[in-house]
Amino acid sequence: MQAELKSNWYIIYTFPNLEKRIYNELVKKCIHAYLPMQRVIRQWSDRKKELQIPLFPNYVFINTTEKERFKLFNISGILKFISFEGKPAVVSEDEILQIKQFENTEFEVEPHLVQGDDVMIVKGPFTGMRGKLFSKRGKERFGIRLNSINQSLSLEISTANVRKV
């Protein structure tokens, strides 16, 4: 009975491109929902446009009880809850806070560490966060692994802001 009353962060898996609609519907129903977004610039032949897109395509996070989460299947566009080995994935509050820190963040890089190095950020808004240094599209990036949701987050970062651990 106690477990049914405990509120946890769960992950809803949606149909493609319905994350914002489902998030808005959850909020209207007074359900504590979180849709991490990232700012991207898209280039068309005649213009550039800044867009807000989901950080994790098809994912919407909700904070609810085990019992209440089953009532959400009546919302059109929800496919399932993310689960591992038959159990719903529970995201820790710390991981939610880490995701929030990654939203809309950009850093510049200076190459002097080696790819794959374990590093810790020593300066800036992510001070104390640990992760790995890797390269993507020719730029150095800092990444963390969120095991409970089987996903990774990364951002460009100046190596002046990290140290090897």
| pLDDT for position 109 | 34
Please check the confidence at residue 95 and state whether its pLDDT lies above 50: yes
> Which has the higher per-residue pLDDT, 100 or 149?
100
Listed residue (137, 11, 159, 136) closest to 83, CA to CA:
11
pTM of the model: 0.65
In the prediction, which pLDDT does 104 show? 57
For a pLDDT cut of 90, what percent of the chain falls above it?
31
pLDDT at 58 over 90: yes
Q: Letter for the amino acid at 41?
A: I
Q: For the chain, what is the mean pLDDT?
A: 81
Going along the chain from its start, the domains and CATH numbers come out as: 2-97 (3.30.70.940), 118-164 (2.30.30)
Higher pLDDT, residue 106 or 35: 35
Radius of gyration of the chain (CA): 18
